[in-house]
Structure 1
Amino acid sequence: MKQLENYGVQALNTEELKSTEGGFWQYVVAGALYVMSEWDDISAGFNDGINGNDYDYNPCP
């Protein structure tokens, strides 16, 4: 513990350890699922942008 104090930090307690063990993988999975669910619009918009076409972003007629 003395070595940590030399660097100006302290050890984590058990609650802090539990909350930091998860990392950010949940956000990566959520982002991947969102991209998968919107892939048709993403690819259509990308292709229209590359080809110089206008893309109708309003799905309602």
Structure 2
Amino acid sequence: MRIIRFIEELDIIEKILGHLGLWDIRNHDPPQPVIFDSIPDLVYDLYYSQILAVDWN
């Protein structure tokens, strides 16, 4: 792949980016912070482990 030509004309760039929906700058509020009421306890369950249980007796 190689570069054939650079597009330098502003009206052509605006037309291409406008067609792709990338020309207009949309202002919006910043995302709201996520607030957790509680953090669940981490529980290790051997039955969900991918390690095989070995009986050493």
Give the shorter-chain TM-score range. Answer: 0.3 to 0.5
Q: TM-score, normalised by structure 2?
A: 0.33
Q: TM-score, normalised by structure 1?
A: 0.32
The structure where helix makes up a greater share of residues is 1
